[in-house]
């Protein structure tokens, strides 16, 4: 059985789409999944990537594309009242339900649905209180008053960066990273034992020289 680490941030519409599509994409295969919430903004900053929201035309396209995908896949997706929004509070709410930085599928799905269904404000205080009630049975004791969740988020994000994660959703299996909703067919092929992955093609990307000149100092 292969083990998948699924890196996600609730601010990403593609994380919601991939979360819902993963069981369908991998149907019939033997695997386990560990969900790790990370701070996407920190990963983007580390690589000097403004993200889709940092490019006005790309921001519009991303929102239209994400909503169309939700429609076409029959799973629903409505952009929240404001986007991007600061996901820190939601990430910490989720990790308050964790002992080691991993969250279960119920917690991940509950927070993702809070953000991506209904088109409401993800950080509205009353809605976050309702979310806390939905997660109440998953909470772990924390005598530090929330410090533990903050530490888990930092540790998750740092570990993801060290593993080469540059965006979400990302899936790690056997040290190999698969990024994005559209990587799910490729992930399935790997789990199913496609011999392509044992050939030279995977490693070839690392050996391919870049034709882009280095940035001026």
What ranges in the chain are assigned the alpha helix state H?
13-25, 40-46, 56-72, 88-95, 105-116, 125-135, 147-162, 184-191, 201-207
What's the whole-number average pLDDT of the chain?
Answer: 95
Give the domain CATH number at 167.
Answer: 3.40.30.10
Q: pLDDT, tens digit, for every residue of 117-169?
A: 999 999 999 999 999 999 999 999 988 777 999 999 999 999 999 999 999 99
In a domain, 97, yes or no: yes
Residue range 83-90: mean pLDDT, rounded: 98
10 vs 19: CA distance, rounded Å: 11
175 vs 152: CA distance, rounded Å: 21
In a domain, 135, yes or no: yes
143 phi/psi in degrees, rounded to 5: -70, -10
Angle between helices 88-95 and 147-162 (to 10 degrees): 100
Q: Is the dihedral of CA 185, 190, 195, 201 positive or negative?
A: positive
142 vs 156: CA distance, rounded Å: 18
CB 170 within 8 A of CB 178: yes
Place of tokens 């927070």: 111
Secondary structure (3-state) at 38: coil
**Domain of 184?**
2-206
In a domain, 119, yes or no: yes
In a domain, 215, yes or no: no
In a domain, 159, yes or no: yes
In a domain, 155, yes or no: yes
In a domain, 214, yes or no: no
3 vs 167: CA distance, rounded Å: 20
In a domain, 211, yes or no: no
Percent of the chain with pLDDT over 90: 88
Number of domains in the chain: 1
Pairing of strands 170-173, 176-179: antiparallel
Residue 217 pLDDT class (50, 70, 90 cuts): low
């Amino acid at each position: 059985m292969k083990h998948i680490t699924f890196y996600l941030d609730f601010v990403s519409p593609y994380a919601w789409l991939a979360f819902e599509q993963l069981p369908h994409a991998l149907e019939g295969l033997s695997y386990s999944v560990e969900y790790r919430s990370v701070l996407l903004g920190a990963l983007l900053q580390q690589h000097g990537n403004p993200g889709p929201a940092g490019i006005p035309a790309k921001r519009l396209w991303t929102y239209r594309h994400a909503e169309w995908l939700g429609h076409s896949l029959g799973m629903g997706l409505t952009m929240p009242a404001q986007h991007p929004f600061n996901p820190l509070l939601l990430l910490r709410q989720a990790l308050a339900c964790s002992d080691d930085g991993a969250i279960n599928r119920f917690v991940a799905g509950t927070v993702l649905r809070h953000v991506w269904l209904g088109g409401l404000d993800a950080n509205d205080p009353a809605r976050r209180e309702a979310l806390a009630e939905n997660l109440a049975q998953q909470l772990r004791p924390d005598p530090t008053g929330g410090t533990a969740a903050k530490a888990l988020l930092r540790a998750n994000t740092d570990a993801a960066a060290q593993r080469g994660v540059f965006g979400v959703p990302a899936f790690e299996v056997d040290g190999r990273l698969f990024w994005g909703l559209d990587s799910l067919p490729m992930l399935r092929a790997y789990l199913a034992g496609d011999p392509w992955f044992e050939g030279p093609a995977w490693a070839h990307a690392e050996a391919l020289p870049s034709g882009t000149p280095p940035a001026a100092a």
